[in-house]
Amino acid sequence: MRKLRTIFNDWGNRTQRTYIHKQWVLSKWEVLDGIDWPVEKVKLLFQNIRDGLKPARFHSLIDIGCGGGWIQKGLKPYVKQTAGLDISLEMLRNAHLVSPRKTNLICGNVCELPLRDKSFDRILCYFVFINFGDPKDIIKAILEIIRILKNGGRALIGQIPDRNFSSQYDTAKKEYLEYCRKNFQVGKNIRDICLVPVHPLDRKFFTAFLEKFNIPYEIRNSFNPFYRAGEPETVEWRFDLILQKKK
């Protein structure tokens, strides 16, 4: 976790002023040389997230691993109140610039959340587990998410790389990187996930763990992070975990 904090502090600090308005969703996905996600792609992503979370106007929501704060900002109109948590203080400073008013931002670790039990109706944890290499951290994180989720609440843990389809992911990643280099002036500052280590995980690991603890869940294919017009909106080489806490 300390290494992740250092990586994202550095990234957040370098993008804080010059590139703050290019952080469409998560700044670790951006390329400093000018790649913006098309509006259509952003809309599809948010619709996919809302379909998983099923937010309502009376709900409280926290985005765990909120990064630059764009997903949290995009979900604000659909709930009563939002909060964002990230391990990186520099990323949280960026999130504050994106949403300076009435934004509850917390610096913390998903494995040890500094929050009370049953605090939120909806929890989003997106592009976070992709950074975990230790299964113990995953178990801790899930138990913490369940702990702060209200009875009857719903959590979406998104963009988990599937070990059984890692070759398909590698191919898609390579094609996307080639697309970026062809269509943009990609330089030494490239920092999208094409060049960030990914830790593939097994769906069976999650199902066995959740069934052992009797936690209701759904598994679905993830939104295509490399989506371009005309391509499938979801892919099988990433999956989302949707948790439903009993009332």
Domain boundaries, the chain: 2-244
**What is the CA 60 to chain-centroid distance, rounded?**
18
Pairwise CA distance, residues 20 & 204, whole Å: 39
Summarize pLDDT for 103-129 with one digit per residue, the tens: 799 999 999 999 999 999 999 999 888
Using only C-alpha atoms, the chain has a radius of gyration, in whole angstroms, of 17
Give the pLDDT of residue 15.
53
Report which of 70, 61, 74 is spatially closest to residue 26, judged by C-alpha positions. 70
Pairwise CA distance, residues 175 & 160, whole Å: 20
Residues 6+ apart with CB under 8 A from 68: 12, 15, 20, 23, 25, 26, 27, 91, 94, 95, 98
DSSP states along 116-156: -TT-EEEEEEES-GGG---HHHHHHHHHHHHHHEEEEEEEE
DSSP states along 218-239: EEEEEE-TT--TTS-SEEEEEE
Pairwise CA distance, residues 25 & 142, whole Å: 23
Give the pLDDT of residue 26.
36
Pick the CATH number of 2-244 from 3.40.50.150, 3.20.20.80, 2.60.40.10, 3.30.420.310: 3.40.50.150
pTM assigned to the model: 0.85
Q: What is the DSSP letter of 162?
A: B
What tokens does 34 get? Answer: 């000018």
Residues in the chain: 247
Give the pLDDT of residue 83.
96
Give the pLDDT of residue 17.
52
- Spans of the chain, pLDDT less than 50: 19-33, 189-195
Give the pLDDT of residue 130.
83
Summarize pLDDT for 125-139 with one digit per residue, the tens: 998 888 887 888 999
